[in-house]
Structure 1
């Protein structure tokens, strides 16, 4: 490849305004003479989960160590540009008025909850917290979450508000994946998630609860066509973990498929306080589904 890493990436700008213009990236990519992704004998899918500004260290919902995660991801993508067939990305996309944001709820004195408050069904029935609007639907959502037995409603800082800088792809990650897209003639597969005001959507396959039972069957079908599926992103403890869980639950009877999944452990970090449960879940997934948890520096494509 003719283009140097430093022509595509400015590491000092991770999580900040991107000083490199899109058209300069496209011009460099067009000058390459790389084989089309359609000719790849081994089909490799890279899935980047929520590499967005609000999850970077200066963002509204900052994940510690995320700048290093991005750097490791960029170096991995660059080193394997000619071997990665397709890049898929997810984009957490919200409005200010959503069930997991402080504006949705008030206490008996009219105060909104602080970020990271957990709201239970018992709290709502006792009058500790009330939805500002859509009270019955809000109670039903929290009830359904608890019936599933895995999650309770967590109030998050306002983040990834559609149209804001925080919701945009991190600039250097954007440079790299668009360079790949042009140089390898491979369209980026974009997954927009989290726009339903009455549901959380950590994973890329389906919301935590949705009365319409939405499932991204198109993505599940697409994934079956790849020999290796590589995942990285933020946060390890939430959107990466739940995306992985949803994929594994769907393909739970197909270990041949699940063993094709590679998680880049040095390209993702957890939200503080959730580390232990995350590592336990990943260990169980590895034992049950034979997924691969590896360093980006060790994985050979």
Structure 2
């Protein structure tokens, strides 16, 4: 017999650091839920959950996204309703060290002060000596800024320290984690976790590749996985940055294969933008819909 949603997720504990999550109990609930193993699905469906992590949760996160708690509630409810048809979940996780190019400690001004969060640092600023790298990597930082700006990428923004490896902020949100592992046990499938953003010299908003790096790393494992599914659903945080970048990168890679891009649906009520990016985010997702044939739908309207 299928347990109730409330036996798995406590919506009052969404975005609560230190929430008491008994994964053994959740796994036991999942194992007693009668479902065909995911390996036997005739229609294969994928949820790509982008950065559903504590540091992006309102009230507790260092880079909190307004609306994120309700996003987690709606996403876990959608996963529960579609348990028997959701084949696989892939989760991306931001994972950073303190010393990264987008964190304050990387930079000093003429008065030996670090930049405030949300400061924009440009190539011209660094070339003129407004900012210098604290680790002697000013030349390499200039190279990054030059390539970033030449390619028309997002400007280098200094973010609050977030998703530092080993901290509570880097963990998956606890109630989402419970639903993730309930699904895994019920469908006898391992959730796949993909870490990103560990290169100190670059930003990596999207799950596929960095904004710029010398080696040109591309996460072929995720791209190859996407090919395997008949339907792909994307949600997470923040819609204006990491979700949007992930969608753009995936669609650009498959731009010549409409049979794949048309399989992608954005769950618009399971993600929220960083404040100030609302209209720009909506416009960009609408452009992706027009260009690649993706769908943008509310989770309550999607039944697998």
| TM-score bin, normalised by smaller chain | over 0.9
Q: Secondary structure at the match of 2:265?
A: strand
Cα distance in 2 between the residues matched to 1:228 and 1:29: 23
Q: CA deviation at 1:221?
A: 1.1
- How many residues are treated as equivalent by the alignment? 301
Cα distance in 1 between the residues matched to 2:72 and 2:34: 26
- Single out whichever of 275-284 and 190-199 deviates more from structure 2: 275-284
Cα distance in 2 between the residues matched to 1:43 and 1:193: 25
1:230 aligned onto 2:233: yes
1:205 aligned onto 2:208: yes
Match of 1:6 in 2: 6
Match of 1:284 in 2: 287
Q: CA deviation at 1:195?
A: 0.6
Q: CA deviation at 1:19?
A: 2.0
Match of 1:30 in 2: 31
Aligned residue among 182, 191, 194 for 1:191: 194
Q: Which runs of 5+ in 1 are unaligned?
A: none
1:53-202 matches, cutoff 5 A: 53-57=54-58, 58-133=60-135, 134-202=137-205
Q: Secondary structure at the match of 1:266?
A: strand
Q: TM-score, normalised by structure 1?
A: 0.99
Q: Secondary structure at the match of 2:299?
A: coil
User: Do 2:37 and 2:188's aligned partners in 1 also have CA atoms closer than 8 Å?
Assistant: yes
1:40 aligned onto 2:41: yes
Match of 2:15 in 1: 15
Aligned-pair Cα RMSD in Å: 0.8
Cα distance in 2 between the residues matched to 1:284 and 1:112: 37
Q: Secondary structure at the match of 1:297?
A: helix
Cα distance in 2 between the residues matched to 1:300 and 1:80: 7
Match of 2:218 in 1: 215
- Single out whichever of 208-217 and 19-28 deviates more from structure 2: 19-28
Deviations 1:134-175 (A, max 9, x none): 111111111110011121100000000000000000000000
Q: CA deviation at 1:101?
A: 0.3
Q: CA deviation at 1:75?
A: 0.4
Q: Secondary structure at the match of 1:219?
A: helix
Deviations 1:82-123 (A, max 9, x none): 100000000100011100000000110001101111000000
Deviations 1:257-288 (A, max 9, x none): 10100000000000011122211111110001
